[in-house]
């Protein structure tokens, strides 16, 4: 290694020697206790719906296990005890087959602020497809570059993908932005299969192609409402 490459390595090693491991653990525990945020997703999966709770005894047990953590208690970890009194707990869930009031009353009391979110609209879907740096459209374009294929997805096609995703969520189960993955995969399935044989070519995805690939999805979603 050259001197300029070795220098940052030596500096890091020396800094580690100056810092006491015990002090780092204390600072970490203090930071968690004072500024920690715990996000608990899918909390609706441990709801016990209805007055009869025999079949959901395990779900209620999980709620009772969570209760002391959210109320505030000392949790034993390998770095020492962590007090959860001032940790912010944020819970979320879809609540398709249950409602927040199905949670234990004690647990509801420890989660006093309730916010209901609206479903994603067509414009929201479009923004998800275009605004993130590594959005789904960009991923597919870069993936095709590995096969030396230039993929172009025009704006009308992106708009149509967003429209179909929003419409399918309305007529079938609302799974949010995950619907975009399903639709993009349907569109790209045949293109990805043909890519090795079309090296050096330019492939364009337009609104007509999107309609051709996902039209059956909308038909199936309409019929699914009548299947018991």
Residue 52: what pLDDT?
47
Burial of 63 (0-12, 13-18, 19+ CB in 10 A): buried
Residue 19: what pLDDT?
67
- pTM exceeds 0.95: no
Residue 21: what pLDDT?
62
Residue 20: what pLDDT?
65
Residue 219: what pLDDT?
64
Residue 161: what pLDDT?
95
> Which residue numbers in the chain have pLDDT < 50?
52-55, 228
Question: CA 172, 221, 170, 214: dihedral to nearest 10 degrees?
Answer: 120
């Amino acid at each position: 290694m050259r001197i300029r490459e070795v220098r940052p390595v030596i500096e890091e090693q020396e800094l580690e020697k100056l810092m006491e491991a015990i002090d780092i653990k204390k600072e970490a525990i203090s930071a968690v206790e004072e500024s920690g945020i715990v996000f608990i997703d899918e909390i609706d999966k441990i709801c016990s719906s209805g007055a009869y709770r025999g079949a959901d005894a395990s779900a209620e047990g999980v709620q009772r296990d969570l209760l002391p953590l959210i109320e505030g208690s000392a949790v034993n970890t390998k770095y020492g005890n962590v007090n959860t009194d001032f940790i912010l707990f944020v819970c979320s869930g879809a609540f398709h087959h249950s409602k927040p009031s199905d949670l234990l009353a004690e647990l509801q009391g420890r989660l006093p602020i309730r916010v209901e979110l609206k479903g994603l609209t067509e414009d929201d879907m479009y923004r998800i497809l275009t605004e993130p740096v590594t959005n789904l459209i960009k991923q597919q374009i870069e993936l095709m570059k590995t096969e030396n294929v230039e993929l172009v997805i025009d704006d009308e096609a992106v708009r149509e993908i967003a429209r179909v995703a929003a419409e399918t969520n309305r007529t079938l189960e609302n799974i949010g932005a995950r619907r975009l993955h399903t639709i993009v995969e349907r569109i790209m399935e045949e293109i990805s299969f043909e890519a090795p044989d079309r090296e050096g070519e330019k492939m364009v995805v337009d609104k007509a192609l999107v309609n051709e690939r996902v039209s059956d999805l909308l038909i199936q979603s309409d019929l699914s409402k009548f299947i018991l």
